[in-house]
Chains A and B, each alone.
Chain A
Amino acid sequence: METSAKGEGVGKVEKVEFDASEIEYVSYGGEHHLPLIMNLVDQELSEPYSIFTYRYFVYLWPQLSFLAFHEGKCVGTVVCKMGEHRSTFRGYIAMLVVIKPYRGRGIATELVSRSIKVMMESGCEEVTLEAEVTNKGALALYGRLGFIRAKRLFHYYLNGVDAFRLKLLFPQPELHPSLPMMVDKDDSHKHGDHRHSVE
Chain B
Amino acid sequence: MAHKPTDEEAFGVAVPGRTSIPSGDNSVWADVSPLLHGACQDLQEGELIHGDNFNLFAAMSALEIMDPKMDSGIVCRYYSLEEAIENGAAPVPVSVDKTTDIRCIIDIMDHLLACEATWHKGHSLAQTVYSCLYLLQPDRTSSHALLHSYCRVTRATCKAVLSVVSDARTHEEEDLFTMAYGLPLSVDGDEKCLSMLNAVEETISRQLRACKSSSKRRVLEAIEPLQSDPDQEGYCKALLCRLRFRKHLYHLLMSIRRPQGRGLELARKHIASCISEFDCILKSSEFLRASAQGMCEQNIEDTTASGCQAIGFDASLNCRSSAPTPPRSIKILSWKKAVQYFVKLLQDLDIICAYSLDPSLEAALNFVIKFQKSQPDLVARSHLQLLLVQDGKLYGRIPMFALITRAAGLPEVTKDHDIQKNEFMVQLEQLVMNLLKILCTNVAWQRRKLGKMLQDWRVIHVQLELAFKKEFGEASKPSYDELCFKIFQQILMWVEEQTYWIAHRFLILGFELELYSVHDYCMVYWYIYTVLIKLAEKTHLRIVMNTGTAKKKGKKKKDSFKDAGRDYQMPGAVLFLQSQIYLAEGLCMMFSALKNEHVIAAPQSPFNTEHEIFIQQFELLRKACLPDNISYRSFKESTMHANFSNLVMCDYFKEAQKIAKDAKSCFANDPDKMSELRRVEQVAEHNSVALNLICRIGAIDRSLKVSFEFSHHPVFATAIVKRS
Contacts and interface: CB of A to CB of B under 8 A. Distances in A.
Interface of A: 30-31, 48, 50, 52-53, 55-56, 59-60, 113, 116, 120, 133, 143-146, 148-155, 158, 160, 162, 164, 167-171, 177-178, 180-182, 184, 187, 189, 191-193, 196, 198
A113 B607 CA distance: 9
Contact of A191 (B175, B444, B445): B175
Interface in B573-630: 603, 605-609, 611-613, 615-617, 619, 622-623, 629-630
9 contacts: A50-B64, A53-B60, A55-B56, A152-B447, A153-B444, A170-B612, A178-B631, A180-B622, A182-B615
A158 B608 contact: no
A164 B67 CA distance: 30
Interface string B447-486: 1100000000000000000000000000000000000000
A114 B378 CA distance: 42
B69 to A, nearest CB: 4
- Among A30, A153, A189, A191, the one with the most B-chain Cβ atoms within 10 Å of its Cβ is A191
A152 B444 contact: yes
A169 B608 contact: yes
B515 interface: yes
A180 B175 CA distance: 33
A88 to B, nearest CB: 12
The 10 closest A-B pairs by CB, nearest first: A146-B605, A52-B59, A178-B631, A152-B444, A154-B444, A169-B612, A48-B69, A146-B608, A152-B513, A56-B56
B611 A192 contact: no
B224 to A, nearest CB: 55
Nearest to A56: B56
Interface string B328-345: 101000000000000000
Contacts of B630: 178
Contact of A181 (B56, B330, B442, B616): B616
A170 to B, nearest CB: 6
Contacts of B612: 146, 169-171, 181
Contacts of B69: 48
Contacts, number: 138
Interface residues of B, number: 58
Nearest to A148: B616
B413 interface: no
Interface string B54-90: 0011011111100101100000000000000000000
B46 interface: yes
A120 B444 contact: no
Contacts of B606: 113, 145-146
B603 A52 contact: no
Nearest to B446: A154
A133 B514 contact: yes
B622 A177 contact: no
B551 interface: no
Contacts of B516: 149
Contacts of B330: 158
B30 interface: no
A62 to B, nearest CB: 12
A192 B630 CA distance: 41
A68 B345 CA distance: 50
A30 B47 CA distance: 12
B40 to A, nearest CB: 12
Contacts of A167: 616
B701 interface: no
Given A149-B517, A180-B623, 7 more contacts: A52-B62, A146-B606, A149-B516, A154-B172, A160-B121, A169-B612, A182-B616
A38 B609 CA distance: 35
Nearest to A176: B631
A164 B448 CA distance: 13
Given A55-B56, A158-B330, A168-B608, A191 B622 contact: no
Nearest to A156: B444
B381 to A, nearest CB: 12
